[in-house]
Copies of this chain bind each other. A is one copy, B any other.
């Protein structure tokens, strides 16, 4: 699942932070966020970029919402990797850290999920401090407090994170209308355009 051997962005992994219903419900734009994250997850799967999910205290707060796991499985029986944690930073959890950095040799974290100023912020900061490349998918993030999200994102950019819309990343991977996945990819773009 996490193999990045055949990835079009070697060493990259899309890490979806805490996409659990209990957090989603608290977002002011839950519908938009859900749609954009589903797009990013489906596009990553289509193009061969590995995907994983963190879950904050899932035994108490519940697992990742089903639409995201379904998007990652893509009609197969593959079970997406779900990584439990009780730290706000995914990389402050030794197990997750070892899974991502040691086992799967992740060198580039592509981040989406909730909340930008808390778990996304702390994960991105730890990743930057661990010399990983960090790219934040600007349309796939949310927070209870949108102004806080804007300031936290700006701070991460100043600290060295990349911030780009998901379509910009995936259109760059596709590169040309001759790419074998071009038609399927444009179908995804349209499916999630409303």
Q: When the two chains form their complex, are residues A172 and B57 in contact, meaning their CB atoms are under 8 A apart?
A: no
Per-position binary interface string of chain A over residues 168-191, scored 1 when its CB falls under 8 Å from any chain B CB and 0 otherwise: 100110111110000000000000
Closest to A174 in B: B88
- Residues in B with CB closer than 8 Å to A176 are 86-88, 92
Partner of A118, one of B87, B117, B151, B171: B171
Q: When the two chains form their complex, are residues B157 and A86 in contact, meaning their CB atoms are under 8 A apart?
A: no
In this complex, how many residues of chain A approach chain B with their Cβ under 8 Å: the count is 38
A76 located at the interface, meaning its Cβ lies under 8 Å from any Cβ of chain B in the complex: no
Copies assembled: 4
- Residues in B with CB closer than 8 Å to A122 are 171-172, 175
Q: When the two chains form their complex, are residues A117 and B168 in contact, meaning their CB atoms are under 8 A apart?
A: yes
Which of A8-16, A47-55, A139-147 binds B?
Answer: A139-147
Given the known interface contacts A118-B168, A168-B152, the answer about A193 and B144 at a Cβ–Cβ threshold of 8 Å is: yes
Given the known interface contacts A88-B175, A178-B86, the answer about A167 and B145 at a Cβ–Cβ threshold of 8 Å is: yes
Closest to A172 in B: B122
Partner of A165, one of B148, B171, B177: B148
Restricting to A130-170, which residues have a CB under 8 Å from any CB of B?
138-139, 144-145, 147-148, 151-152, 154-155, 157-158, 162-165, 167-168
- Residues in B with CB closer than 8 Å to A144 are 193
